[in-house]
Structure 1
Amino acid sequence: MENVKKRYLEAHEDGYLPGFALMASSQDGDTVIFSGGKQSLNPNSANPFTENTICALASMTKLLTAVVVLQCIEHGLLNLDANVNVILPEVGKYDIITGWDDETNQGIFQSITTPITLRMLLTHTSGHAYDWFRPALKNWRASRGEQPWLGATVEQKATIPLVFAPGTQFAYGVGVDWAGKMVERVTGQTLEVFMKERIWEPLGMRDVTFWPKERGEFEGRMAGMNRLGENGEGRAEEVPGFDIGGGATDCLGGGGAFASTKAYFTFLQAVLRRDEKILKKTSWQELFRPQLSPELKAFFNEYLHADPLRAQYLAMGIPASITKTWCFAGMICEDAQEGRFSAGTVFWGGMPSMAWWIDGAVGTCGLATCQVMPPMCPKIMALHEKFQRAVFGGVGIAKSTDALQAQ
């Protein structure tokens, strides 16, 4: 672990990792904590980046949303395989876009003939994709005088054409935002209120919210968002006023929460031990159960690695030779990677180059946070891999807490 710590501190000194926090734990509770760098590159801020610094979780929010969806299923409020249009009439409103006619500046569409289910929303097989990552959807937005992903509500951000027939392919997208909206509509509560009552308070997670500006105790604790060059080159520069929610006033179940590393790690530990204060045993089993058919799994593995940018954003630095599938918690690696993780390890992360993993076979979980763009910057993700390897090798978990700081 000492070599890993040195690498992170060197990355800070080299200017491409302004601040970071790492946490890892075994199933019996032994924990390692290591953090370093600065919370903000603003010259008027001298606060260090620690496990108590508040970060934008981005897509790490999806795991929280998957858990509250399963809580709603336990109480009979939602059904994984029912048509979501009963609760979400907006979903599928614009059918399936199959191409774009440049001469008429109009999309080419086909009708939806298969019902969209909550299971599809949670597994990114509903036909939804992020509009900023699909040319046809960007063209569709532009033809309407709209910008991708901007808008105050989930309805404004996610009421878009599908890009394939439901259940036939995989595309990472807004499905979990719609799943979060389903929770809000059937409970009559915002995700903020529902998660606070059902996850955050039972686990003692104080430093988590969808609305950090409304939390006075967060003042002076928010990490700045930073950006490197398009290919991860140069020194990081802070992006003042960066809004990861794109103007959202809704709670975005797919990427809108903020938390300290310590708070989110508390949640991750509960997921590792399958804490029955949060979900019943059968629901934990469903959370981790592989959801893709053999045909969809084959498509998913091709989808991940067919495009270099998509591989950067979604493959978590895991080679194409390792077979992957999807569960409600995130991406499952069906094969082991020597020296790094066991078969069945689940991964996911957040856009500002953050990552978590749960390795049930050896009983460990880990979390690496920072706030650096471009998304999933390869050289930062490579650091996180070294951290994971140190934990897997048994040298990263110690009885005592290690909280070294790089000033």
Structure 2
Amino acid sequence: MAELDAILEKYTNPDTGSIHGASFVAVDSTGNDIYCKSFGYKNVNVKNSKRLTLDTPSWIASQTKLTTSVAVMQVVEKGLIGLDDDVRDVLPQLKDLKVLIGFEGEGSIAETLATSGDEGPYSSKPVEKPKGPPIFEKIMGKLTLRHLITHTSGFCYDLADPLLIKYSAWTERKDNMFSGTMQGNLHPLIFQPGSSWKYGPGLDWAGTIVAKLTGLDFNEYQQKHIWGPLGAKNTTFFPNREGLEKEDLHETGIRAEGEGTQGLKPGDCLWRLNSRDALGGAGLFSTPNDYKKLLSALISEGGPLLSKASVDEMFRPQIGPESTLGARAFLKGTNLDNTQSNLYTDRYDEWENFQEIGHCLCGIVTTEDVFGRRKKGSINWSGLPNLIWWIDRESGVAATFFTQLLPVGDHAPRRLQIELEAALYKAINGK
């Protein structure tokens, strides 16, 4: 694996590299390690930093979603709920949900989107209060567990959608997607369930449903039914409760200029270390060594977490053509009308050449081989500070890349991830 070492050394070199620290782990279908190493430093200021290790905690952001999908399939296996049951029968706080379609005095939704500007979590532009009150329509049909975990529920992250940004301004909401509370994810839907696709807090609500059905706080549930059986001891929704402070974490680097490490500045983690709620969409702090154990279980057909049938269902494409268009636009960093997305940009540049993609119960499904890399049918998803995982059952490979670097979609970690993947497959295929 000398080529993998060389790639990571190149990118994390404090003088000539572009990332202060990165880890890469890969396992085979029997759960054995293929490659597991960390390179670089825990802190952006490398002169005063310890070396990064495979046990250094990181905020894994949306890589949390895979663990929540596992939890969902566990309660489905136990017969506590079905994937197509209406979740409003489980959570009373969702009973009064409606679909937000616009605001009085502001014309059509298309006009609202076109005039929304660049509001978003990284924007300093103040959000103008809408001219009139919001306009709603009732939910038609069910809002199901399957909708929640495939991002087809109508929920969208409130800082990523112009309508919800304006809704928050109108209602003067104080919580949002980064508040560390479920209240930050309680807001109207923006389309009828099952009719489109938008990235949002569906997995946060799914985790809340698991907690309600089992009578356990979602952090307690994951410790008992996921991380405990895996022997993973360094993963939690509440790092402060475990005695961890921000100095213990892999520090977030912010790309200020250029592409070298000299252009990075230290930044704070976007997620609260003392969140009030265990949020299944983005709230976990974990380590490469712990996350590797989750991937090992899933590439090994689920044991000790799930049956093979449940893993098969998790990895099967689930969404229709209209929803697929929305997912494809998201991966390209755009809205459906090809305007720039406020929250996510340049997310998966290589996907632009694909004719189709799929979405399963835990991530994107490739519909064709990626030359020299993963095979058709592989599953992947990522985390906001430029982490990524994938599971390639045909090749018998699962892997994850950890770093803590913003903004999302920064070109250096994207190139590094692609180089690592190509070198890994070259090594295991012997060519």
TM (normalized to structure 2)?
0.84
User: Where does 1:124-135 land on structure 2 (aligned, <5 Å)?
Assistant: 124-135=151-162
Q: Does 1:69 align with 2:100?
A: no
Higher relative contact order (CA closer than 8 Å, sequence separation 6+) = 1
Shift of 1:306: 6.9
Q: What SS class does the counterpart of residue 319 from structure 1 fall into?
A: helix
User: Where does 1:310-389 land on structure 2 (aligned, <5 Å)?
Assistant: 312=345, 314-315=347-348, 317-389=350-422
Q: Which moved more, 1:16-25 or 1:350-359?
A: 16-25
Tell whether the 8 Å contact from 2:333 to 2:347 is kept in structure 1 after alignment: no
- Give unpaired runs (5+ residues) of structure 1: 398-407
User: Where does 1:107-256 land on structure 2 (aligned, <5 Å)?
Assistant: 107-147=134-174, 148-154=176-182, 156-216=183-243, 221-229=248-256, 235-240=263-268, 242-245=269-272, 248-256=275-283
Shift of 1:77: 1.4
Deviations 1:114-169 (A, max 9, x none): 22000000100000110111111111111222353254521x11111111111000
Instruction: Note closer, same or farther for the CA distance 1:316–1:120 as it changes in structure 2 (3 Å cut).
Output: farther
| Distance in 2 separating the partners of 1:179 and 1:316 | 29
Q: Which moved more, 1:15-24 or 1:339-348?
A: 15-24
Tell whether the 8 Å contact from 1:54 to 1:218 is kept in structure 2 after alignment: no
Q: Could you tell me which amino acid in structure 2 is paired with residue 23 of structure 1?
A: V
User: Where does 1:40-59 land on structure 2 (aligned, <5 Å)?
Assistant: 40-41=43-44, 45-59=48-62
Instruction: Note closer, same or farther for the CA distance 1:300–1:152 as it changes in structure 2 (3 Å cut).
Output: closer
- Give unpaired runs (5+ residues) of structure 2: 107-129, 335-339
Tell whether the 8 Å contact from 1:56 to 1:244 is kept in structure 2 after alignment: yes
| 1:81 alignment partner in structure 2 | 84
| Distance in 2 separating the partners of 1:275 and 1:192 | 20
Shift of 1:312: 3.5
Shift of 1:218: 7.8
How many correspondences in the alignment? 395
| Distance in 2 separating the partners of 1:83 and 1:111 | 15
| 1:401 alignment partner in structure 2 | none
Shift of 1:5: 3.5
| Distance in 2 separating the partners of 1:222 and 1:303 | 29
Tell whether the 8 Å contact from 1:92 to 1:162 is kept in structure 2 after alignment: no
| Distance in 2 separating the partners of 1:356 and 1:27 | 15
Shift of 1:325: 0.7
Q: Could you tell me which amino acid in structure 2 is paired with residue 63 of structure 1?
A: L
| Distance in 2 separating the partners of 1:385 and 1:350 | 16
Q: 1:31 aligns with which of 12, 31, 34?
A: 34
Q: What SS class does the counterpart of residue 352 from structure 2 fall into?
A: coil
* Percent identity over paired residues: 28
Shift of 1:315: 3.4
Q: What SS class does the counterpart of residue 265 from structure 1 fall into?
A: helix
Superposition RMSD on alpha carbons, in Å? 2.6
Instruction: Note closer, same or farther for the CA distance 1:303–1:231 as it changes in structure 2 (3 Å cut).
Output: farther
Deviations 1:39-98 (A, max 9, x none): 123578521111111011100010101111111111121221111111123236341122
Instruction: Note closer, same or farther for the CA distance 1:51–1:317 as it changes in structure 2 (3 Å cut).
Output: farther
